[in-house]
Amino acid sequence: MKIEEVKSTTKTQRIAAHSHIKGLGLDENGMAMSVSQSAGLVGQETAREAAGIVVELIKSKRMAGRAVLLAGPPGTGKTAVALAIAQELGSKVPFCPMVGSEVYSSEIKKTEVLMENFRRAIGLRIKETKEVYEGEVTELTPVETENPMGGYGKTVSHVIIGLKTAKGTKQLKLDPSIYESLQKEKVEVGDVIYIEANSGAVKRQGRSDTFATEFDLEAEEYVPLPKGDVHKKKEVIQDVTLHDLDVANARPQGGQDILSMMGQLMKPKKTEITDKLRREINKVVNKYIDQGVAELVPGVLFIDEVHMLDIECFTYLHRALESAIAPIVIFATNRGKCTIRGTEDIVSPHGIPLDLLDRLMIIRTLAYSQEDMMQILKIRAQTESIQMESTSIQYLSVIGTKTTLRFSVQMLTPAFLLAKMNGRQSISESDIKEISELFFDAKTSAKILAEHEEKYMK
Ligand SMILES: Nc1ncnc2c1ncn2[C@@H]1O[C@H](COP(=O)(O)OP(=O)(O)OP(=O)(O)O)[C@@H](O)[C@H]1O
Ligand SMILES: [Mg+2]
């Protein structure tokens, strides 16, 4: 099995609407803290505290194969709480968000999509002792020669790199391919890096702390000058997900000689991950775990809008939750009693089959008070750098109680634009009034539809 070149396949997510959420905002006893220290979340104390317990269960690894359901009306912060759980778990625990409707694709089977996301949510921490060159970069010089293929321009023939540790320095002559990885990791003189001897993989660990006073950029991580020799054996810890391993070991489609050569050139994205491959990988993973080389890190699969799944998916999920390596699954839905998709007339709470529902721990989110809405609007305005008079926050929160929180949050940016057009720097009450006359919320719109039914096409 190949582990060296495993690239992370973490999904990038658009969470712009939740960028103010930094965590659950709980104190050391797991109680919800008040607004000022609450890491972006306002109110919803019970849900937050329950989510805190889920986080504890996950961290102490007593949660695998279980599932949680966040249920509540639209715009009550279900997605926000789920993302806060992800923040609390930190970057070492895999968190794979998906939306129920993602399973409907004409190319891939529904269960295949679910399986892939399941495996994205199971992590493996691999400890390996590797031969490395480690140190602070003292010199980094690409050496160029005339392009041997003729033509203009020069090519990098090798790279000279100087590495310094507390014990000594060493100068290395490296292959140009490593130069590329050095550039990818944005290595500069003064960084602490290590290069794996047999794969040439480069890892930048941070900036050497002798440079700590250079700029005070918070984003930079400063690390001490490594001890020992430059060339040594080092315990390297790598976090990957099962899906990363699937992808890294999947053969490009085709596999004919010529094709695979072309394939290497074109780096095809389409690869085949078969059940057989997954079984093979599971076998190797289990062996690694038995040998103590690797440790399983069950993460979280978050399925938002779970009512979009159909009965086939639910059955599959139910079975998958029973398997030996399963992640923790968090569902969210805003549906009440409704028919389960894919059935004729089976009505069930939240559109989830009763037998699955029976396994879930349910966390409810409740509608917000006007007070809470004001707080959330204030935080949102701050994160979007929107100036707002306090009377307009109040006014907007009143609109929020009549419509939904999401609607009033969405009105912030257009209202600010309007204020600027009117030559003001902060949103006044009149801007909000004008904007709320221009745009309708779902309820008002539905009411208008009902009143003027005869004017619309059927
Ligand atoms: N308690 C809260 N504190 C701070 N911000 C919140 C809170 N609850 C919700 N928000 C913000 O309000 C907006 C709507 O919330 P969210 O998207 O989480 O609702 P939802 O319950 O997932 O709704 P839906 O059922 O429609 O998916 C988001 O921008 C979210 O970040
Ligand atoms: Mg949501």
Q: What DSSP string runs through 348-381?
A: EETT--HHHHTTEEEEE--PPPHHHHHHHHHHHH
Mean pLDDT of the chain: 83
> What mean pLDDT do residues 288-312 have?
90
CA distances from 247 to 161, 252, 259 (A): 32, 10, 19
Look at residue 217 in the predicted model and tell me its pLDDT: 55
> What mean pLDDT do residues 336-361 have?
90
**377-415 per-residue burial string, b: 16 or more CB within 10 A, e: under 16:** bebbbeeeebebbeebbebbbebbeebbbbbbbbbbebb
pLDDT tens per residue across span 100-126: 998 998 788 888 899 999 999 999 998
Counting ligands in written order, which one lies closest to the CA of residue 83?
Answer: 1
Please give the distance, rounded to the nearest whole angstrom, from the Cα atom of residue 107 to the centre of ligand 2.
Answer: 26
Query: Pocket of ligand 1, candidates 69, 363, 409, 441: which has the most ligand atoms within 8 Å of its Cβ, to mutate?
Result: 409
pLDDT band at 150 (very low <50, low <70, confident <90, very high): low
Look at residue 38 in the predicted model and tell me its pLDDT: 64
The pair phi, psi for residue 354, each rounded to 5°, is -60, -40
Please give the distance, rounded to the nearest whole angstrom, from the Cα atom of residue 319 to the centre of ligand 1.
Answer: 31
In the predicted model, is pLDDT for residue 14 greater than 80?
no
In the predicted model, is pLDDT for residue 33 greater than 70?
yes
SS3 content of the chain, % helix, strand, coil (to 5): 40, 25, 35
CA atoms within 13 A on the CB side of 117: 27
pLDDT tens per residue across span 313-346: 999 998 888 887 788 899 999 998 999 998 888 9
Look at residue 221 in the predicted model and tell me its pLDDT: 78
Angle between helices 370-383 and 390-402 (to 10 degrees): 120
Rounded Cα–Cα distance for residues 144 and 141 (Å) = 9
Cβ(334) – ligand 1 distance below 6 Å:
yes
Look at residue 354 in the predicted model and tell me its pLDDT: 92
CA atoms within 13 A on the CB side of 405: 28
In the predicted model, is pLDDT for residue 34 greater than 80?
no
What percent of the chain is modeled with pLDDT above 70?
87
Cβ(23) – ligand 1 distance below 6 Å:
no
Look at residue 263 in the predicted model and tell me its pLDDT: 45
> What mean pLDDT do residues 38-67 have?
84
pLDDT tens per residue across span 393-445: 999 999 888 888 888 888 888 899 999 998 888 898 888 888 888 888 888 88
**228-246 per-residue burial string, b: 16 or more CB within 10 A, e: under 16:** eebbbeeeeebbbbbbbbb
Q: Which domains does the chain have, with CATH numbers?
A: 45-123+276-364 (3.40.50.300), 127-237 (2.40.50.360), 370-453 (1.10.8.60)
Query: Pocket of ligand 1, candidates 405, 410, 412, 441: which has the most ligand atoms within 8 Å of its Cβ, to mutate?
Result: 405
Name which of 77-91, 103-117, 265-279 the model is least confident about. 265-279
Name which of 8-17, 57-66, 381-390, 443-452 the model is least confident about. 8-17
> What mean pLDDT do residues 43-62 have?
88
- Nearest-CA residue for ligand 1 atom 11 is 77
Rounded Cα–Cα distance for residues 38 and 22 (Å) = 9
pLDDT band at 151 (very low <50, low <70, confident <90, very high): low
